[in-house]
Amino acid sequence: MSTYATTEEVRAYVCIEAAVLLPKDDDDLEAMIETAELDVDRILSPSLPRDPVTGRKLTLADLSVVQVEALSRATCAAVEWRALQTEEALAEGDSGIEAAGSVQFTDQPRPPAPKMIEELSGHGFAWRSGTVGTPPDGDDET
């Protein structure tokens, strides 16, 4: 069962182009929402513990009303983005440049839905930084 957004919220949020692509059955849409929630969790800080009941990184009871609304909109935006993408686009990574001289690059995971990030921005959520931190044992290799 979805945690961050309801089927009603998704249907009310998405653009017309995405609305016609959404599953008609609420159970199928619920599954799509659950996948979108994983997209949201993926961009949040890896240090956030998961709720033992929902498996999600955020617990609605711990958030302000404004944060809950932003989280719902972000999840809806992720559903909308997924509906508008092809299955091939969702399965592929963003390879970008494959080589520069003798340096080879591996595929990168696809970027998150831009509108999802916009909806979460400015509401105090802990983000995945993409930077290198101090090793867990405290040794600072410099």
Give me the helix-helix angle, 65-84 and 26-43, nearest 10°. 110
Tell me the CA distances in angstroms from 23 to 19, 49, 80, 83, one per residue in order. 9, 31, 12, 9
Considering only residues 140 and 120, tell me which one the structure prediction assigns the higher pLDDT. 120
Does position 66 have pLDDT exceeding 60, yes or no? yes
C-alpha gyration radius of the chain: 17
Tell me, yes or no, if the pTM score tops 0.95. Answer: no
**49 CB-side CA count, 13 A:** 4
111-133 average pLDDT score: 81
Contact 131, 97 (CB under 8 A): no
Domain segments of the chain: what residues? 7-92+109-120
Give the Cα separation of 50 and 92 in Å (integer).
27
Tell me the CA distances in angstroms from 58 to 39, 67, 76, one per residue in order. 13, 10, 16
Give the Cα separation of 73 and 34 in Å (integer).
14
Question: What's the confidence (pLDDT) of residue 27?
Answer: 96
Question: What's the confidence (pLDDT) of residue 128?
Answer: 75
Residue 1's pLDDT band, with cuts at 50, 70 and 90, is confident
Burial (0-12, 13-18, 19+ Cβ within 10 Å), 80:
buried
Q: Among 37-46, 58-67, 104-113, whose mean pLDDT is lowest?
A: 104-113
Q: Report which residue type is found at 58.
A: L
Does position 124 have pLDDT exceeding 60, yes or no? yes
